Amino acid sequence: MTALLFPLVFIIVFLSMAIRILPEYQRGVVFFLGRFQAVKGPGLVIIIPGIQQMTRVDLRVITLDVPSQDLISKDNVTVKVNAVLYFRVVDPEKAIIQVEDYYNATSQLSQTTLRSVLGKHDLDEMLSERDKLNVDIQSIIDSQTDAWGIKVTNVEIKHIDLNETMIRAIARQAEAERERRAKVINAEGEMQAAQKLVEAADIITTNPAALQLRYLQTMSDMAGKNTSTMIFPLPIDLLNHFSKK
């Protein structure tokens, strides 16, 4: 009985070490005596213990939070910027063989790239052209991680934090800009009003009847506002007669 029990235990242990089951989103990078052999999975994979080794690789999109980075913009403004990066493994063989820890390597690369790219831009560009900067950062990181079998699908800058002094300065600048626009609009309105008055004066000068109509309209307005006031209209020609003298 003991003679049969030992081989049975050996077979069970051997099978438990040899059989691997990989889900649809995983692949196994198999090495034979230290040399790369194949990428296997998903499903049932059998490994010879002691001779073959297998490393699991997840193919799903990984969300990587890029820690806040202190940087100085092109116009010498100190800001803190953090971002989020989305990437996935597209070549399990490269991800295991070409880099020791692809997750940590991608994280470090994203931090240095974030500082390098944003440091070349002014603060206004960081705030107003965030989408363009996201694309630039994603393109640079993706081109460098391609050798690791990593595909960077998206990069999003989450926050650009400023110190209190800079926030107050931006608020003052925005207020000054609003005042400037208000003055410009007011000046344009006065200029348009002046142009209309000049056009009206030209019409009245060339057409005396227009002056008579305006005269009657003015009296009508005065009579409507001051009911106790008595108005005696005089002909325009009579007024012109006195003005010529």
Give residue limits of the domains in the chain.
Answer: 12-58, 62-162, 168-244
pLDDT classification of 189: cutoffs 50, 70, 90: confident
Q: What is the per-residue pLDDT for 14?
A: 72
Which amino acid does the sequence have at 220?
S
Average pLDDT, the chain: 82
Q: What is the per-residue pLDDT for 22?
A: 94
Q: Residue 101: CB partners within 8 Å, gap ≥ 6?
A: none
Looking at the DSSP bridge assignments, the partners of residue 68 are: none
Q: What is the per-residue pLDDT for 12?
A: 77
pLDDT classification of 32: cutoffs 50, 70, 90: very high
The tokens of 21 are what? 């089951």
CA 168 to centroid of chain Cα atoms = 23
Return the closest-CA partner of residue 45 out of 28, 20, 27.
20
Task: Confirm whether pTM is higher than 0.75.
Answer: no
The angle, 0 to 180 degrees and rounded to 10, between the axes of the packed helices 130-145 and 102-118 is 140
When mean pLDDT is compared across 49-53, 69-73, 87-91, 179-183, the lowest value belongs to 179-183
Compute the average pLDDT of residues 143-152.
95
Q: Which CATH superfamily is domain 62-162 in?
A: Band 7 domain (3.30.479.30)
Q: Which long-range contacts (CB under 8 A, 24 or more apart) does 133-137 make?
A: 133/157, 137/83, 137/110, 137/113
